[in-house]
Amino acid sequence: MPKNLNQVLSESCECRTFFSSLPDYVQQTIRERADSIHSADDLHRYADNLLENL
C-alpha cells in the first residue's frame, strides 16, 4: 500500500523537521493533499512548487 503524508512524517525525523519549517499555509495545503505524498521527494517537490508559486 502506498504511503501518505502521515506515514512519511512518522518515519523520518528529517521530513518532520522540514515540514515544520514550512509556512503554515504551505503545511495546510500539503495536509489537504496528504494522500498524494508518498515519499520525502514528493514532500520536498510539492513544498518547493508551492513556495515558488506564491
pLDDT per residue, tens digit, the chain (54 aa), is: 569 999 999 999 999 999 999 999 999 999 999 999 999 999 999 999 999 987
Q: What is the pLDDT of residue 34?
A: 96
Residue 25: CB partners within 8 Å, gap ≥ 6? none
Which grid coordinates are listed for 28?
A: 495546510
Number of H helices, E strands in the chain: 4, 0
Q: What is the pLDDT of residue 1?
A: 57
Say what the pTM is: 0.90
pLDDT tens track for 13-26: 999 999 999 999 99
Q: What is the pLDDT of residue 53?
A: 86
